[in-house]
């Protein structure tokens, strides 16, 4: 019986330790899954890294780009894929956090007069003290072309 009580006490201590979260991480994690445009996180956001999407790797036609957007005020990242290809039938992408594999796919898409392009956006991921990357794809003239950013 004493051994069983020790086991329960150890299990309770492990659970309690797992629930302790630092304030910075907790604050950033509250943005996970939210769209930047619906928050203050979009204000002052920058493109941390980007990659062009071309019809091939050698002198191909550039048909768009994939960007890993970053908010320093919220410590979050999200993906924006843009395409100027008029006949693109599909535009998509995702943002993925390396530490745990969490990701979000594009959930908003359409035409942007400000960008002068078709676009898609993902929800945000906490990026405090971790790295993430963006990947995007554009279907153009019957083929799908992709691009992936480096980690940030």
Reduce the secondary structure of the chain to three states and give it as a string.
Answer: CHHHHHHHHHHHHHHHHHHCCCHHHHHHHCCCCCCHHHCHHHCCCEEEEEEEEECCCCCCCEEEEEEEEEECCCCEEEEEEEECCCCCCEEEEEEEECCCCCEEECCEEEEECCCCEEEEECCCEECCCCCEEEEEEEEECCEEEEEECCCC
Domain ranges, residue 22: 2-148
> Coil, strand, or helix at residue 128?
coil
The answer to whether residue 127 scores a pLDDT higher than 80 is yes
Q: Please report the pLDDT score of residue 26 as a whole number.
A: 41
The answer to whether residue 32 scores a pLDDT higher than 90 is yes
The answer to whether residue 12 scores a pLDDT higher than 80 is no
Most confident by average pLDDT, 19-28, 39-48, 87-96, 107-116 = 39-48
> Tokens 């992709």 sit at which residue?
146
Which is more confident, 28 or 56? 56
Q: Please report the pLDDT score of residue 121 as a whole number.
A: 96
Domain count for the chain, please give it.
Answer: 1
Which is more confident, 89 or 26? 89
Query: What are the pLDDT digits (tens) for 55-105?
Result: 876 677 899 999 999 999 999 999 999 998 766 668 999 999 999 999 999
Query: What are the pLDDT digits (tens) for 33-52?
Result: 999 999 999 999 999 999 99
Q: Please report the pLDDT score of residue 57 as a whole number.
A: 65
């Amino acid at each position: 019986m004493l051994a069983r009580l020790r086991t329960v006490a150890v299990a309770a201590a492990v659970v309690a330790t797992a629930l302790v979260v630092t304030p910075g991480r907790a604050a950033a994690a509250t943005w996970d899954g939210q769209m930047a445009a619906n928050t203050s996180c979009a204000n002052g956001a920058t493109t941390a890294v980007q990659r062009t999407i071309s019809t091939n790797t050698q002198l191909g036609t550039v048909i768009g780009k994939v960007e890993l957007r970053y908010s320093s005020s919220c410590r979050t990242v999200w993906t924006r894929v843009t395409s100027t290809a008029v006949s693109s039938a599909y535009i998509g992408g995702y943002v993925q956090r390396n530490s745990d594999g969490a990701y979000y796919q594009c959930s908003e898409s359409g035409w942007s007069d400000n960008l002068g392009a078709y676009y898609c956006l993902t929800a945000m991921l906490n990026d405090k003290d971790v790295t993430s990357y963006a990947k995007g794809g554009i279907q153009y003239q019957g083929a799908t072309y992709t691009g992936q950013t480096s980690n940030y």
